[in-house]
Amino acid sequence: MSLFLVNRYLGEEEDENISKEHASNDLLAKLQKKSKQNQEHSLKNKTANHTVKETQRHDVVKKRKSLPESNQEAQPRRKKKLAAASSRDLESNSGSAKGPSDACLTPRDGQKDEKEEEATAAPEAESEKPQTPGFTVMASFENKPVQKVHRVLPQWLAQPDVFQREIKNNLVPVSDIRGLCAPIVQKLHNNGIDHFFPVQAEVIPAILENMQNGLLIGRGGYKPRDLCVSAPTGSGKTLAFVLPIIQLLMERVVCEVRALAVLPTKELAQQVFKVFTSYAEGTPLKVVMVAGQKSFAAEQASLSEMRGNKRRSLADIVVSTPGRLVDHINKNSGFSLENLVFLVIDEADKMIDRMHQSWLRQVVKAVYKTKSDTRNISTFARTEDVFVTAASLSPPQIPLQKLLFSATLTQNPEKLQQLGLHQPRLFTSTRNHSAHVCNQDSFDFPQGLTEFYVPCTLSKKPLILLHFILRLKLSPILCFTNSRETAHRLFLLVQLFGGVQAAEFSSRLSPAERKHKLKEFEQGKIQLLISTDASARGIDINQVKCVVNYDAPQYIRTYIHRIGRTARAGKAGLAFTFLLGVQEKNFLQMVTNAGSPGIQKQIIKPENLKSMEARYEEILQELAKMIKSEKVY
């Protein structure tokens, strides 16, 4: 019995009574006859066409030689010929094998060369071809205004997990977070933390939910999803990854590098290292920093040691900068990432910009570099599979989960794609994520921040800054310049003026000096820290009341990170940007487009600066001499 009924064409005179075999023989004979007829027919046509084409070509040449014909006259005649040809085709319809595409014509006005004549003449002769009665005039267009195309986000970016931006009114008691173990809760309590900030309350459980019996396993036994977190500056992103990582690794038996946090600068690496160390205290976990603050050999010794002829890891958690990390991957045979489970990419947008250094490719290569001997004895496999299938998970894999954090995370899928994320999940407080259409340069600003811009001239900038400290008592002030030369010059000027405890912070200083200056600033020993963008990102300095953009930042991301050094952890803060007349329009536009809740104008009256002007004129000359002598040495 057949499974499917196949209907076959049996010809017009199908006789119900004849046998199947008989019918198919008949049909075959009929088809053969028809095919023979068609062949003869097409042969005849070819000969006829050739003769007609030749005659046409002769006619065209003759016409050209004798009388020039205007387009207006020629066009209707050509149309008539075509219409006649197509109606003949429709009538005859002799079952020619040629397709309708042969009949497509595109006559153009005002062009009458030999080719065109051929094109119009040929279909006239090829009477067998089916043709459409009308024809489309090409090369003519309507001048419509072009509609703007909006980028459409992939689903994970368009539908994120959204949390509250406002911190103070949305604190979550630590005890409300499921899955946090008692030692971590105790540690938080000791550090004076009884409530989580919104980003922490959302992200910590999301990382913890993949932990089962000390193993990292995603939903349904698959690889866990990678997480991207976009939250305002000072919203507590560091604890959001430090706490779950410590909790998930604290039960480990053998010491191996299982978590790696990569940050763009030494200062940031130092800061995150401190937080990891503080929460790893009292657990067997060892945290090591490799950011170039010590010699390579010293870092090498802190990462691993040789026991007999066996390598032994001395680090569970490594905090690093990309350059030094790549050095250790390539030159330190004792550094292994084969057991890595968490890869934290902090300040992720900055780290994506550093992708040309191919640090991530090197990390991934080191992670999946399992030696053949260990593969045989290990219960778990480590292979870099493009597709996650049941087969690819047998034997069970050691997964690698990527955790991305930034206050200005790019929404550009092309850029994010470079990170090779696995089914990513986005956590954000940004409002515009709800729409499928995105504005790439829109970000969330800290709730407690008040923004001002100060219209000024170049020569009045130092006086306004001094006025802020000496009269308005706004210190401690973190002041940003666009270059280290400006930072240095301004520092010298303020020092010469006197009455203000100032310091500079730029690449002119050694890492140790920079660390020292930051410490003094935090302790309140320095009222004014004049810095380049070296301290703009991620640096968490307690009690910065006020940020001054002495030079207006060129990019919105720079602005957001600079002003984010104040109004941290739900506190209030002020941000002033000095603007020259020519900068005002563009700067205000940039800030408004970025989603700023509002930037107010702050005018400093000239009479408020008058009393400082004489002294200022005096020191300008001294400053010029000082800079000249510095250049000589």
Ligand X SMILES: Nc1ncnc2c1ncn2[C@@H]1O[C@H](COP(=O)(O)OP(=O)(O)OP(=O)(O)O)[C@@H](O)[C@H]1O
Helix, strand, coil percentages in the chain from 3-state DSSP, rounded to 5: 45, 15, 40
Any idea what the Cα angle at residue 80 is, between residues 76 and 82, rounded to 5°?
A: 115
Is 185 an interacting residue with respect to ligand X (CB under 6 A)?
no
Q: What is the 3-state secondary structure of 66-91? A: HCCCCHHHHHHHHHHHHHHHHHHHHH
Q: State the virtual CA torsion across 429, 435, 440, 445 in degrees, nearest 10.
A: -30
One character per residue 532-561, x = contact with ligand X (rule: CB under 6 A): ------x-x---------------------
**Rg (alpha carbons) of the chain, rounded to whole number:** 38
Burial class of residue 116 in the structure, from the number of CB atoms within 10 Å of its CB (0-12 exposed, 13-18 middle, 19+ buried): middle
Contacting residue, 127, 233, 410, 430, with ligand X by CB under 6 A: 233
Q: How far is the CB of 236 from ligand X (least distance, A)?
A: 3
Is 569 an interacting residue with respect to ligand X (CB under 6 A)?
yes
When the beta carbons of 303 and 546 are compared against ligand X, the nearer one is 546
Q: Which residues pair with 435 in a beta bridge?
A: none
Q: Which stretch binds ligand X (CB under 6 A): 236-244, 309-317, 333-341, 544-552?
A: 236-244
Q: Which stretch binds ligand X (CB under 6 A): 82-90, 156-164, 231-239, 250-258?
A: 231-239
Q: How far is the CB of 233 from ligand X (least distance, A)?
A: 4
Is 237 an interacting residue with respect to ligand X (CB under 6 A)?
yes
When the beta carbons of 155 and 191 are compared against ligand X, the nearer one is 191
Contacting residue, 165, 433, 461, 568, with ligand X by CB under 6 A: 568
Q: Which stretch binds ligand X (CB under 6 A): 104-112, 232-240, 289-297, 469-477?
A: 232-240
When the beta carbons of 317 and 366 are compared against ligand X, the nearer one is 317
Contact 167, 197 (CB under 8 A): yes
- Binding residues for ligand X, total number by CB under 6 A: 19
Rounded Cα distance, 46 and 54, in Å? 12
When the beta carbons of 281 and 618 are compared against ligand X, the nearer one is 281
One character per residue 408-447, x = contact with ligand X (rule: CB under 6 A): ----------------------------------------
When the beta carbons of 381 and 569 are compared against ligand X, the nearer one is 569
Burial class of residue 433 in the structure, from the number of CB atoms within 10 Å of its CB (0-12 exposed, 13-18 middle, 19+ buried): buried
Q: How far is the CB of 565 from ligand X (least distance, A)?
A: 7
606-632 and 484-497 helices cross at what angle (nearest 10)? Answer: 110
Distances (CA, A) of 590 to 353, 410, 548: 21, 16, 18
When the beta carbons of 240 and 248 are compared against ligand X, the nearer one is 240
Contact 367, 338 (CB under 8 A): yes
Tokens found for residue 142: 């309507």
Q: Is the peptide bond before 476 cis (omega within 30 degrees of 0)?
A: yes
Among 490, 485, 510, 486, which residue's Cα sits nearest to residue 500?
Answer: 490
When the beta carbons of 244 and 564 are compared against ligand X, the nearer one is 564
Q: How far is the CB of 156 from ligand X (least distance, A)?
A: 21
Beta strand pairing call for 546-549 and 477-480: parallel
Is 238 an interacting residue with respect to ligand X (CB under 6 A)?
yes
Is 160 an interacting residue with respect to ligand X (CB under 6 A)?
no
Q: Which stretch binds ligand X (CB under 6 A): 11-19, 189-197, 326-334, 484-492?
A: 189-197
Contacting residue, 123, 198, 234, 462, with ligand X by CB under 6 A: 234
- Which residue blocks in 294-443 are alpha helix, DSSP H? 296-303, 322-331, 348-353, 359-367, 372-377, 413-417
Q: Which stretch binds ligand X (CB under 6 A): 214-222, 235-243, 366-374, 603-611?
A: 235-243
Q: How far is the CB of 573 from ligand X (least distance, A)?
A: 12
| Locus of tokens 């009308």 | 134
How many Cβ atoms sit within 10 Å of the Cβ of residue 113?
A: 8
What's the DSSP call for residue 145?
P
Q: How far is the CB of 625 from ligand X (least distance, A)?
A: 40
Q: Which stretch binds ligand X (CB under 6 A): 175-183, 293-301, 450-458, 564-572?
A: 564-572
When the beta carbons of 131 and 238 are compared against ligand X, the nearer one is 238
> Which residues, including other chains, have CB under 8 Å from residue 14's CB and lie 6 or more apart?
23
One character per residue 492-531, x = contact with ligand X (rule: CB under 6 A): ----------------------------------------
Contact 324, 292 (CB under 8 A): yes
Site for ligand X in 191-230 (CB under 6 A): 193, 195-197, 200
Is 564 an interacting residue with respect to ligand X (CB under 6 A)?
yes
CA 429 to chain centre: 17
- What's phi and psi for 511, nearest 5 deg? -55, -35
Contacting residue, 207, 245, 407, 609, with ligand X by CB under 6 A: 407
When the beta carbons of 327 and 347 are compared against ligand X, the nearer one is 347
Q: What spatial distance separates the first Cα and last Cα of the chain, rounded to whole Å?
A: 103
When the beta carbons of 267 and 540 are compared against ligand X, the nearer one is 540
Question: Which positions lie near ligand X, rule CB under 6 A?
Answer: 193, 195-197, 200, 231, 233-239, 407, 538, 540, 564, 568-569
